[in-house]
Amino acid sequence: MKYKKPVSVLVVIHTPALEVLLLERTRHPGFWQSVTGSQEDDEPLLETARREVREETGVDVGAGEFIDWQMTNRYEIFAEWRYRYAPGVTQNTEHVFSLCLPERLDVTVAPDEHLAFRWLPWREAAAACFSWSNRDAILELPRRFVPHAGPGSSPQGSS
């Protein structure tokens, strides 16, 4: 068995109106979260974010659409998932990204990981998350996202 790296991404997918996409975990019905996933080998974290979004939602966008928040969270890996990591590994380092889509999309969830999806206003989405790091990232979203007005402009992130 190949062990997972204790390095992951959290990708908050949202619209310009700050509606946030949440996914319901297959193994824990009622547990809602943003896209998350572990880095594979020496994959750049931005590519991890792209791959995980594509695998978990079917949304395939260019690397330039993601905003790297340059923010990390460190947390204890839930005991039930530690078997996926090398013996003795108990902590994970999570890197936060966001992705603004022009509007809500119907996504295709990965059935082995997620049961359903829903779009919620950012405050409701934060309240629905089981993970503190996911909740905190969504609560930070209004400070991180600044749409640029004007013809031909597209929403951009700000740090």
- Kindly report, residue by residue over 90-103, the tens digit of the pLDDT: 999 999 999 999 99
Percent of the chain, pLDDT > 70? 92
Which tens digit of pLDDT belongs to each residue from 25-39? Answer: 998 899 999 999 999
Q: Is the dihedral of CA 59, 50, 95, 1 positive or negative?
A: positive
Distance CA 15, CA 31 (A): 22
pTM: 0.90
Residue 151, pLDDT above cutoff 80? no
pLDDT band at 23 (very low <50, low <70, confident <90, very high): very high
Which tens digit of pLDDT belongs to each residue from 110-147? Answer: 999 999 999 999 999 999 999 999 999 999 999 999 77
Q: In this predicted structure, what is the pLDDT of residue 1?
A: 76
Per-chain mean pLDDT for the chain: 92
Fold of 7-157: Nucleoside Triphosphate Pyrophosphohydrolase (3.90.79)
| DSSP code string of 89-146 | --EEEEEEEEEE-SS-------TTTEEEEEEEEHHHHHHHBS-HHHHHHHHHHHHHEE
Q: In this predicted structure, what is the pLDDT of residue 21?
A: 98
Distance CA 3, CA 76 (A): 17
Residue 59, pLDDT above cutoff 80? yes
Q: In this predicted structure, what is the pLDDT of residue 134?
A: 98
Two tokens at 49? 């974010």
